[in-house]
Chains A and B, each alone.
Chain A
């Protein structure tokens, strides 16, 4: 008991070998500009953006290509100057390999920026104005969820936020893009954090960094010295520390209730890369058109962090950085929660934190065997769920049973599948069940809307029948009146001959 007080370590999650070095220690590289960029219109949660450029049009770097549609959407900007070749489709960086609409730009190599309207001092701006500029820059949460940042900050401002949590934990193995950013640009990140404080009205910001990044901690602590409202906190290296709930629990010391969001308790969580993007947007007027990502994995000859324009094809990245061998699997994001790619002809998007080219040895996943009910998954689950029980229910198509066991609280973090000695595809079954639940809900909404439409049609038919009957009755009375009063119709009435015929 006392030992636990001296060395408080979380009792959830897993600690896989992080494999962040040597990639994390190498300086940031800027790869040569690709010839073509494939910029998807949907790089965020919500509705796809609506293109406002035409094929053949010349665009400057940072020019608006597509504007947000509806509230939950984000703007898309040109990642480089050049000509819009076409507005077509590109394969989504997603295991489904479905096509998504995208704008293709032929780069002219000049990298000419559009004129920016950066304010002289962004701290003079009102929170609304800061949020407007963040939205105009197309900034989304760069931790992976890609939720429009301005919307989140705006909600926070209205909800009355007192604390901002800045996520620099980067708990996924292999990835080091946030680490690199914190080492290279601590002042810029903290400037972005202070702008976010201004935008939300929060009083303090806690920056959580995992203990396996001593260089980043030192750089951020030094940069934070002049600002008493910014504090750097060291987190134990544990996966999934970067999850909103776990970061909240560790930094504030209280656990978030199951049906609560952090904003309900006056706390907002943002990623360090998002803070950097906010700094770029408000100080330089640069929208989100490029990002830092980690190239890593056994098949990559020169692992490291690179800055690439959004829309670069994975294929181009792999050509620029030599491969040791043909990768057995390509993953966008981290190995625990990243998306397995169908092929390399998919573009880098705003939420791409890394590109892993893994060898067969790294991806080796044993043959699944029956569950031995060892409950390793239940011990590893950071949400204290029972993965083996949920998977058994999903296997029997009992979705409601799985929901009762807390399926909706599942983060899909992959801890259960990672520790499973029977190598069961637990996360896949949870992802399937979540999709099936969503489909069921969509079917219910569809039935409901059909019922509304059918009722509206019945009402329309009834109204039309009534109107017809009324019109017929009116004609009949008119006719009767005319017959008794004035048998000779006037010449000006165009329907006169018929009426005369009817009377006769």
Chain B
């Protein structure tokens, strides 16, 4: 009697296990997310300048790290706070707080310190610096992503990242204080 009961339990659980296992296996096949597609979709969101500020080998490396879960949505300094929710949404992550940065930053060359060595020109990922040997270089404001690669390369420390100047067209009304805001 006891053996029969035991056998029923063993058989039914084994059967259940097999069926569920088969189901899971099938689901993994049918609903498989193509890793390639995931990476290329993430790559499309990233700035694509391959500045390397995130610590991975270019934007492709960063996208692979994001897809495999080795990095979080806050990895890209050049993309700033605006990129974080986009990446989080794509990865299906819940963000408690998008995080506030000081807004976009751009590189500014201090003329008094620039020696015209041309090193920054070569590392700029968007060709956003204009200059020639022994001539003072200048950053094109529209082309700068604020990745900071040039600032690291500069031997005289003449390049600094500064917040993008606010103009009348870019000014934003401050958000009402939380105690005033609707809850």
Contact = CB atoms under 8 A, between A and B. Distances in A.
Task: Judge: A and B partners, yes or no.
Answer: yes
A95 B183 CA distance: 26
A457 B129 CA distance: 12
A100 interface: yes
A428 B79 contact: no
Interface in A348-388: 368, 370-371, 388
Interface string B141-156: 0110100000000000
A428 B181 CA distance: 10
B82 A397 contact: no
A393 to B, nearest CB: 9
A435 B126 contact: no
B48 A451 contact: yes
Contacts of A324: none
Interface stretch (A76-84, A115-123, A442-450): A442-450
A397 B183 contact: no
Interface stretch (B9-17, B33-41, B64-72, B168-176): B168-176
Nearest to B143: A453
Interface string A426-459: 1011011001101110111011011101111100
Given A449-B143, A450-B47, A395 B173 contact: no
B45 to A, nearest CB: 8
Contacts of B82: 439-440, 443-444
B60 interface: no
B125 A457 contact: yes
Interface SS of chain B: loop
A34 B97 CA distance: 52
A319 B46 CA distance: 56
A94 interface: yes
A429 B175 contact: yes
A442 B181 contact: no
A370 B183 CA distance: 7
A429 B181 contact: yes
B48 A446 contact: no
A435 B173 contact: yes
B127 interface: yes
Nearest to B100: A397
A94 B168 contact: yes
B78 to A, nearest CB: 8
A42 interface: yes
A262 B87 CA distance: 39
A453 B126 contact: yes
B150 to A, nearest CB: 13
Interface residues of B, number: 36
A477 interface: no
A92 B97 CA distance: 34
Contacts of B98: 397
Nearest to B97: A397
A447 B47 contact: yes
A371 B125 contact: no
Nearest to A447: B47
A397 B96 CA distance: 11
A391 interface: yes
B174 A392 contact: no
B103 interface: yes
B80 interface: yes
A237 to B, nearest CB: 29
Interface string B69-97: 00000000011101100000000000001
Contacts of A370: 182-183
B115 interface: no
A92 B98 CA distance: 32
Interface string B120-152: 000001111000000000000011010000000
A460 interface: yes
Contacts of B166: 96, 98
Contacts of B126: 450, 453-454, 457
B48 A456 contact: no
Contacts of A391: 181-182
Given A424-B180, A439-B103, A457-B127, A98 B80 contact: no
B174 A454 contact: no
Interface of B: 47-50, 78-80, 82-83, 97-98, 103-104, 125-128, 142-143, 145, 166-168, 170-176, 178-183
28 contacts: A42-B168, A94-B168, A96-B166, A368-B179, A371-B183, A392-B182, A425-B176, A425-B180, A428-B174, A432-B174, A435-B171, A435-B172, A436-B172, A439-B172, A440-B82, A442-B170, A443-B82, A443-B104, A446-B104, A450-B48, A450-B49, A450-B126, A453-B49, A453-B125, A453-B127, A454-B48, A454-B125, A455-B48
Interface of A: 42, 92, 94-96, 98, 100, 368, 370-371, 388, 391-392, 394-395, 397, 424-426, 428-429, 431-432, 435-436, 438-440, 442-444, 446-447, 449-451, 453-457, 460
Report the 8 A-B pairs with minimum CB-CB distance, sorted nearest first: A435-B172, A451-B48, A453-B126, A395-B181, A443-B82, A431-B173, A391-B182, A96-B171
Given A98-B167, A98-B171, A435-B171, 5 more contacts: A94-B168, A424-B181, A431-B173, A432-B174, A450-B49
